[in-house]
Amino acid sequence: MNTPPPVACSAIRKSYPGGIAALNGVSFELAAGEIFGIAGPDGAGKSTLFRIAATLLLPDAGSVSVMGFDTVRDFRRIRSLLGYMPGRFSLYGDLTVEENLRFFATLFGSTVEKNYSLVKDIYSHIEPFRKRRASALSGGMKQKLALSCALIHKPEVLLLDEPTTGVDPVSRKEFWEMLKRLQQQGITILVSTPYMDEAALCDRIALIADGAFMRIDTPAGLIASCDETLLAVKGDNMPQLLKLLRAHPAVKSSFAFGDAHHVAVERNCTAAALQASLPAEGNIAVEPVKPSIEDCYMFYSRR
């Protein structure tokens, strides 16, 4: 007998009042034990998809199953199999760290001691503050507490909706190291993120825009599929340079990327040719660059 996928979505559609389409026929399956990332900007439909998968929202059409159970018919059974961490901090701010953890363990008919081995690496970061109210924690500590509470009943599938938004870079790095360790313990993880550098840490990525998946692939597969001629352009006046690039006949797209502008150009346009066509003043420098996941997102969103 074939084992059902941890999460399977088939042609999910969801609209909100006013005709706002949040999801437009989203379909995908998770493989057991993988970290599957959904990457896209705010308003792309990520949170709606997660709420449907977490049995908190009904789809207008299509179906979602978790470990073979339908999210509409079997929602009670699914909730014991899932750990869900919403994008906004949703624990009880008036309860202490320790009280929150014990409350969520009791809610699922378990105890902190029973599954402590699963969360000890995470909880060790916040244990010195176990008597502090959750509302008084820093952003990174709140996320670690929320992750501990989502894991305390030992779920088979973990849903994390933008877990590191608003968290400092060090805490973000620590958080992803924790996810990798959870993956090694056999937990399947579905995570959404607006940060393309985080998406690159996933086993597979779905790029989402306007409620639809543009492409699903591994990070390496996505980068290999982005067959653009890509150049990085720098200069003294970056805002004015961006305007010049977007008006250039050989430039297909141009967007700010850190301290440079990443420019997709026609295939017959070289770095030297583009540099020669730009004003001599302004210390403008042009060089070829390899695409990143963010470049791939821009490539597929144009299509």
CA–CA separation, 276 vs 297, rounded Å? 29
Taking phi over 0 as left and psi of -120 to 50 as alpha, with beta for the rest, 202 belongs to: beta
Burial of residue 143, with CB atoms counted within 10 A of its CB: 0-12 exposed, 13-18 middle, 19 or more buried: buried
Whole-number Cα distances in Å, 290 to 37, 103, 203, 226, 231: 22, 49, 20, 10, 8
Burial of residue 283, with CB atoms counted within 10 A of its CB: 0-12 exposed, 13-18 middle, 19 or more buried: exposed
CA–CA separation, 291 vs 193, rounded Å? 19
Per the document, the length of the chain is: 303
Taking phi over 0 as left and psi of -120 to 50 as alpha, with beta for the rest, 206 belongs to: beta
For residue 1, what pLDDT is reported? Answer: 57
Task: State the CATH architecture for 7-223.
Answer: 3-Layer(aba) Sandwich (3.40)
Task: State the CATH architecture for 226-302.
Answer: 2-Layer Sandwich (3.30)
CA–CA separation, 151 vs 65, rounded Å? 20
For residue 108, what pLDDT is reported? Answer: 87
For residue 121, what pLDDT is reported? Answer: 85
pTM of structure: 0.90
Both tokens of residue 50?
A: 């997660």
CA–CA separation, 66 vs 5, rounded Å? 7
Q: Which residues of 25-63 are buried (b: 16+ CB within 10 A; e: fewer)?
A: ebebebeeeebbbbbbeeebbbbbbbbbbbbeeebeebb
- Cα R_g (the chain), whole angstroms: 22
The full set of domain ranges for the chain reads 7-223, 226-302
Both tokens of residue 190?
A: 């579905």
CA–CA separation, 262 vs 118, rounded Å? 42
For residue 112, what pLDDT is reported? Answer: 85
| Helices and strands (H and E) in the chain: how many | 11, 14
Average pLDDT by stretches of 10, the chain with 303 residues: 89 92 96 96 94 96 96 94 90 92 90 85 87 91 90 94 87 90 94 93 96 96 92 94 94 92 93 92 91 92 81
